Amino acid sequence: MRAVVLDTAVDGDGRYRVDEVAEPVPGPGEVAIRVAYAGVQWGDVLVRGGHLPLPGPGVPGFEAAGRIVAVGEGVARGRVGEEVVALVDGGACAEVVLAPEALALGIGPASLRDAAGPGWAGPTAYDLVEEVGRVREGDRVLVHAAAGGVGTLAVQFARAAGAAEVVGVAGSPERAAYAEGFGYDRVVTRDEFPAVLGDDRFDVVLDPVGGATRTANVALLAPHGRLAVYGNLAAYDPVEISADDLLMQGLSVLAYNSALLSRTHPARLAASARRVLGLLAAGRIRVGLGSELPLDGVGDAVSRLAAGAASPGKTLLRVS
């Protein structure tokens, strides 16, 4: 089969090549999916930079939409032929990918292209709002990376949970304008943050950024506020937070890791992903879709994402 192979020893976009590799065979509890669309996301930037390892033969891609073509031991034969989206730990940039049965989710009436939109960002945004940040009626919420996959969904879930105000932070006025279309009350730019927020305080802050932004986020929490940490877009430097300072204001710092959840509690991640697919099919949420590229466009897509130069919305690779 054709697959993208990533060679991290090579520099530039050339490190991605499309090659013939052996088609994977599903093991116990797995399904094989003929991939129609593979989603590009920030995890691909991390893999390219050597921050995340890829299993097996080095085929990237964490999310796929397609049709089940084979099942391993213990999986109902009746699943063959089912259209699914799958959350995987690599391998989606290929004509066939393996997925744990629990994380290959039927798409119902949605098209494969639409169902490919949420990817890992879907359950992540849902869990950040519902489980980690526990956004309640009347809460004020601050969302960093507001124009990204997680941010554009998180604002919609926060609104549905009854948030009184949702403020976003984005990289440029253009990104801010794009994010505003998903329901933010206002979106400020990273240059303006945090000064532009003045004395504003938030009950919930979603932070995939790290570094100085994380320190600023703690200072922006209202009494009893919750900071949900889920990425390090800007910095990996450790951030010091005093437990005593948190105690005085009743603050919480919480973390979310969907990749870990997929290994420890796949059914919980799947339940959130299913809710997102249901809301999408019912037209109650919207996912911004961006460019659609062939399989060999992956190097360019990841470079653009890393450089902040991707067109807004989710980039999909059309595989077959």
Is 145 a binder of ligand NAP (CB under 6 A)? yes
Judged by CB under 6 A, the residue of 104, 170, 220, 277 near ligand NAP is 170
Rounded distance between C-alpha atoms, residue 302 and residue 320, angstroms = 20
In the bound state, the residue with its beta carbon closest to ligand NAP is 171
Is 209 a binder of ligand NAP (CB under 6 A)? yes
CB of 272 to ligand NAP, least distance (A): 11
CB of 230 to ligand NAP, least distance (A): 4
CB of 211 to ligand NAP, least distance (A): 9
Is 175 a binder of ligand NAP (CB under 6 A)? yes
CB of 170 to ligand NAP, least distance (A): 4
CB of 54 to ligand NAP, least distance (A): 15
Instruction: Pick between residue 215 and residue 257 the one whose CB is nearest to ligand NAP.
Output: 257
Is 168 a binder of ligand NAP (CB under 6 A)? no
Judged by CB under 6 A, the residue of 62, 193, 202, 256 near ligand NAP is 256
In one-letter notation, the amino acid at residue 320 is S
Cα dihedral sign, 163-190-254-123: positive
Is 315 a binder of ligand NAP (CB under 6 A)? no
CB of 259 to ligand NAP, least distance (A): 6
Among 28-36, 86-94, 167-175, 284-292, the segment contacting ligand NAP (CB under 6 A): 167-175
Among 77-85, 192-200, 216-224, 229-237, the segment contacting ligand NAP (CB under 6 A): 229-237
Judged by CB under 6 A, the residue of 60, 148, 225, 297 near ligand NAP is 148
Is 305 a binder of ligand NAP (CB under 6 A)? yes
Report residue 13 CA to chain centroid gap: 22
Q: What is the SS3 assignment for the chain? A: CEEEEECCCCCCHHHEEEEECCCCCCCCCEEEEEEEEEECCHHHHHHHCCCCCCCCCCCCCCEEEEEEEEECCCCCHHHCCCEEEEECCCCCCECEEEEEHHHEEECCCCCHHHHCCCCCHHHHHHHHHHHHCCCCCCCEEEECCCCCHHHHHHHHHHHHCCCCEEEEEECCHHHHHHHHCCCCCEEEECCCCCHHHCCCCEEEEEECCCHHHHHHHHHCEEEEEEEEECCCCCCCCCCCCCHHHHHHHCCEEEECCHHHHHHHCHHHHHHHHHHHHHHHHCCCCCCCEEEEEEHHHHHHHHHHHHCCCCCCCEEEEECC
Among 55-63, 65-73, 118-126, 281-289, the segment contacting ligand NAP (CB under 6 A): 118-126
Task: Please report, as ranges, the residues that interact with ligand NAP according to CB under 6 A.
Answer: 41-43, 120-121, 124, 145, 147-151, 170-171, 175, 190, 208-209, 230-231, 233-234, 256-258, 305, 308
